[in-house]
Amino acid sequence: MSENLSALSGRKGLEENLFEQLVEKSKVTGAPDNEELKALAKKYLMGEAITYGTASFYDFLKKEHEGVKVHVCNGSACLVAGTQDRVKVKLSRHFKDAEVGHMCCLGRCHENSAFNYNGTNYSGNAIDQLEDIVQKTDKDLSDNYNVGATSERVLTGEAMTAQQFKEEFSKILANGPEWALEQIKTSNIRGRGGAGFPMSFKLNACRNEPDPQKFIVCNADEGDPGAYSDRYLLEQQPMLVLFGMMTAGYIVGADHGAVYIRGEYPESVRACAEAVKELEAIGMHGANIGGSDFSYHFKVIEGAGAYICGEETALLSSLEGQRPEVRVRPPFPAQKGLFNKPTIVNNVETLAAVPWIIRNGGDQYAKLGTEKSTGTKLVCLDSFFNKPGMYEVEMGHSFKDLAYNIGGGFKAPVKAVHIGGPLGGIVPTHKIDDLNIDFESFANGGFLLGHAGMVSIPEKFPMIEYLEHLFEFTADESCGKCFPCSIGSVRGREMIANARNGQKMDRQLLDDLLETLEIGSLCALGGGLPLGIKNALQYFKEELKNYFL
């Protein structure tokens, strides 16, 4: 069934994709109305249940979103910082309760108090100037965060211009796709979205597929609370990301690429769209790139509020206008992806490293970092650090040095750092000394580096409340495709909520539930959730013991 829907959606191609039209229909009222959904179903030869079912899934398309004018960040970083209630109180003086919705997360974890109004994100002291924001004054209320590096600046150097893009890509055109692929293979760069999968393996698999139509998709749905590195790249370094996409397209033989940017990052959507216009103006977008016979078309697509779209197959379903449910693999996207065509899906940071690799050579990139985790990594520190911000470090860099020297240590007592989003590991502060910033070190320590966004859990914040928050997050964001995740997360939330109200948990029952989630879930949302829960049960046994039988 879903394959048929993919084919029907693909009739209109990427330029006139169903999902984008659903988003556009919601811009005025907050949700597309039923007549619009019927018209779209007819246009794409689908049943009305398909367009209705899709629209009802997303936070920014469902009927409950009608009339919402302002959104409060309900991400983990703002939760533990205790700023959400303050923001809600301030907003209540200007907006009715029905006009206040939520977003997760706005990528403002370095200063919290985050909210979105009229297509712009705000945080920190901006909430104290809400009157100016509502009155649309010209005050600069953009966020500020440290951007530092202790290594070669692969990703945080001077921003690439459109002209530099053209000059650098001419080197690829002169040397050919095999040469470009060899540079990436030699670099041994691994996916920066969390899985750490070799980029060259995907490219080679897609390149070998015989289908003449292929796609490149940039997964810019950075939904992990604590992470804002993708936001930095999309807003400050968009040419790096687009260059990586076009290079991937040239290697595999794809002439279309989609940048799928989460709706919670409106500034990122605008910055990337502007960068594409700059490329178009100098002949680096469309037909005959750089005077060659290679053509490439970018498409910037705005998401609609769904964490699960960070999972690559759910993202592809979303692009097709279907409910963003995870797909069973195999086949893998490189074989059968967007519209059933071979597709490369890479995360923002992975693609953004390609220009440096092409300019300096894959062998030079491989010299950075460790043998198995080459290159650099962007790491985000939240507001509990004395020097919050985003830092580029070589893979293998000491976590202790990052936290206490580069980040300046903590402003208040912190008992753990949750790294890699809701599905990452909860690292007690006494374990910071034992870890390095690379995939192997974290895995060997029983944790997960993931996106490397960090949410500090203060001493005063109850761990049991944080665990309930993780189960609740998963329950809210589950695509519903598999029972272990969709039902198991709800049962976990209920167990912990009951325990907080005096009904103690059976530890064996909780362990069984975690095992079911871990081995039975289709994707990392349900399968990854148990890691942090297990870390907490192991390292905060004393704090949690009174909640068990």
| 1 has pLDDT over 60 | no
Rg (alpha carbons) of the chain, rounded to whole number: 23
Higher model confidence: residue 424 or residue 138? 424
List residues bridging with 148 in a β-sheet: 391
| 92 has pLDDT over 80 | yes
| 2 has pLDDT over 80 | no
- Mean pLDDT over the full length of the chain: 95
As a whole number of angstroms, the distance between CA 31 and CA 207 comes to 39
Q: What whole-number percentage of the chain has pLDDT above 70?
A: 100
Note the pTM of the prediction, 2 decimals: 0.96
Closest CA to 373 of 276, 275, 443, 471: 443
Pair 448, 411: CB distance under 8 Å: no
* Sequence-separated (6 or more) residues with CB below 8 Å from residue 442: 419, 425, 435, 448, 449
| 403 has pLDDT over 80 | yes
Vertex 525: Cα angle to 535 and 1 (nearest 5): 160
Query: Peptide bond preceding 32: is omega within 30 degrees of 0, i.e. cis?
Result: no
| 440 has pLDDT over 80 | yes
Instruction: Look at the block and give the residue holding tokens 């907080």.
Output: 500
**pLDDT for residue 15:** 87
| 373 has pLDDT over 60 | yes
- Reported as a single tens digit per residue, the pLDDT across 217-266 is 999 998 899 999 999 999 999 999 999 999 999 999 999 999 999 999 99
pLDDT band of 137, cuts 50, 70, 90: confident
Tokens of 371: 């043998």
As a whole number of angstroms, the distance between CA 394 and CA 438 comes to 9
pLDDT band of 125, cuts 50, 70, 90: very high
- DSSP structure string for 420-447: SSTTSEEEEGGGGGG-EESHHHHHHTT-
- Reported as a single tens digit per residue, the pLDDT across 281-292 is 999 999 999 999
Higher model confidence: residue 131 or residue 385? 385
**pLDDT for residue 248:** 98
| CA dihedral for 61, 65, 69, 72, sign (positive or negative) | negative
Q: Hey, which bits of 213-369 come out as E strands?
A: 215-220, 256-261, 297-302, 343-347
- Mean pLDDT of all residues in 154-160: 97
pLDDT band of 151, cuts 50, 70, 90: confident
3-state helix, strand, coil in the chain (%, to 5): 50, 15, 35
**pLDDT for residue 13:** 82
**pLDDT for residue 142:** 84
- Reported as a single tens digit per residue, the pLDDT across 294-314 is 999 999 999 999 999 999 999
| CA dihedral for 395, 76, 327, 485, sign (positive or negative) | positive
Q: What whole-number percentage of the chain has pLDDT above 90?
A: 89
Tokens of 378: 């962007």
**87: how many CB neighbours lie within 10 A of its CB?**
23
- Reported as a single tens digit per residue, the pLDDT across 346-372 is 999 999 999 999 999 999 999 999 999
Higher model confidence: residue 141 or residue 202? 202
**pLDDT for residue 138:** 75
Lowest mean pLDDT among 27-41, 409-423, 471-485: 27-41
**In terms of DSSP bridges, do strands 389-394 and 146-149 run parallel, antiparallel, or are they unpaired?**
parallel
Within a 13 Å sphere around the CA of 278, how many CA atoms are in the beta-carbon half?
17
Tokens of 285: 């977008």
| 47 has pLDDT over 80 | yes
Query: Peptide bond preceding 331: is omega within 30 degrees of 0, i.e. cis?
Result: yes
**pLDDT for residue 3:** 73
Closest CA to 54 of 341, 311, 308, 422: 308
Three-state SS at 95: coil
As a whole number of angstroms, the distance between CA 118 and CA 133 comes to 9
As a whole number of angstroms, the distance between CA 149 and CA 518 comes to 36
**pLDDT for residue 509:** 97
Q: How far is CA 463 from CA 417, 420, 471, 495, 544, in A?
A: 12, 18, 13, 15, 7
